[in-house]
């Protein structure tokens, strides 16, 4: 069995997962037509088949690939979730797409970074019924560039709007070193900041409390892409450079985990 090719920019669609008054969190996904095209391309029109069935009231899909070397069908299956419009059709399509991920189509999308795009006032509006923020009709985004490493993980990504303007690029250039401030003029002593040490960072309980506190500032700032966890730590606490760098790494993992839970 040969390896499935990686998705190209034209294979990937972008949708808004969350919108607020400052911007939007975007997700990458593939549709069922891309799955069918790649199956035809890799295995031939008659080299694969799909089957839908219900179990415990849920819509499942089996996708089978003909293994010519071993002269047998290789089958993967998964369950679908209903869409916001047509329930049964949405479940069937979702089950098919999930089964295709099990085969290997589009699995690399799970390695995408957190995508935040700032929105202009004319790109967002509030729904009259729910009062929730949404993209204005006609506003959309697309993948303009994507690269992968040798482990099939996304290593570079760029998102553009429908006018071709780049709105997101990852990875960003490494931030410049924090400037060393010159001594302040003699004045009344400021209140001493609590010191954060490496032992505290390595203590899971203490570190989780600190991560939760800094994450709260991150949410209040509206998920800005240029947000610097290390700089925010130093605003409230005293810490050495080594501690700040380690905390920044842990904060990135913590942030991704919180977003995955949502």
pLDDT digits (tens, 9 = 90+) for 34-56: 999 999 999 999 999 999 999 88
Residue 213: closest CA among 243, 178, 254: 254
Reply yes or no on whether the pLDDT at 171 is more than 50.
yes
pLDDT of residue 185: 53
pLDDT of residue 190: 52
**What is the pLDDT confidence band of residue 173, given thresholds at 50, 70 and 90?**
low
**What does the pLDDT look like over 84-141, one tens digit per residue?**
555 667 889 999 999 999 999 999 999 999 999 999 999 999 998 889 999 999 999 9
d(C-alpha 37, C-alpha 97), whole Å: 12
Looking up tokens 């004045």 gives 187
**What does the pLDDT look like over 203-248, one tens digit per residue?**
889 999 999 999 888 888 888 877 888 888 888 888 888 888 888 8
pLDDT of residue 41: 95
Contacts of 41 (CB under 8 A, 6+ apart): 5
CA torsion sign for 22, 27, 31, 34 is positive
| CB 119, CB 19: distance < 8 Å | yes
pLDDT of residue 176: 46
pLDDT of residue 258: 79
Q: How many whole angstroms from its chain centre is CA 101?
A: 16
Tell me: cis bond preceding 171? Omega within 30 of 0 counts.
yes
d(C-alpha 163, C-alpha 64), whole Å: 40
Reply yes or no on whether the pLDDT at 192 is more than 70.
no
| CB 162, CB 141: distance < 8 Å | yes
Residue 122 Rama label (left phi>0; alpha psi -120 to 50; beta): alpha
- Max Cα–Cα distance, the chain, nearest Å: 84
**What does the pLDDT look like over 130-156, one tens digit per residue?**
899 999 999 999 999 999 999 999 999
């Amino acid at each position: 069995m040969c390896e499935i090719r990686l998705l190209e920019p034209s294979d990937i669609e972008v949708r808004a997962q969350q919108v607020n008054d400052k911007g939007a969190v975007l997700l990458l996904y593939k549709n069922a037509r891309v799955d069918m095209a790649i199956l035809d391309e890799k295995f031939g029109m008659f080299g694969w088949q799909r089957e839908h069935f219900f179990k415990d009231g849920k819509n499942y899909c089996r996708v089978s690939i003909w293994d010519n070397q071993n002269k047998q069908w290789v089958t993967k299956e998964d369950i679908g979730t209903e869409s916001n419009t047509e329930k049964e059709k949405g479940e069937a399509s979702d089950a098919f797409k999930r089964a295709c991920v099990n085969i290997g189509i589009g699995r690399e999308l799970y390695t995408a970074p957190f995508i935040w795009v700032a929105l202009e006032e004319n790109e967002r509006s509030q729904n009259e019924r729910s009062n929730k923020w949404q993209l204005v009709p006609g506003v959309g985004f697309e993948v303009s560039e994507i690269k992968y490493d040798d482990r099939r993980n996304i290593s570079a990504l760029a998102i553009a709007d429908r006018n071709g303007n780049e709105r997101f690029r990852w990875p960003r250039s490494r931030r410049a070193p924090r400037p060393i401030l010159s001594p302040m003029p003699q004045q009344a002593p400021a209140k001493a900041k609590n010191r954060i040490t490496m032992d505290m960072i390595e203590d899971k309980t203490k570190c989780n409390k600190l991560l939760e506190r800094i994450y709260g500032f991150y949410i209040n700032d509206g998920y800005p892409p240029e947000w610097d966890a290390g700089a925010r730590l130093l605003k409230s606490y005293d810490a050495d450079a080594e501690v700040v760098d380690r905390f920044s790494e842990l904060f990135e993992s913590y942030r991704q985990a919180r977003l995955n839970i949502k």
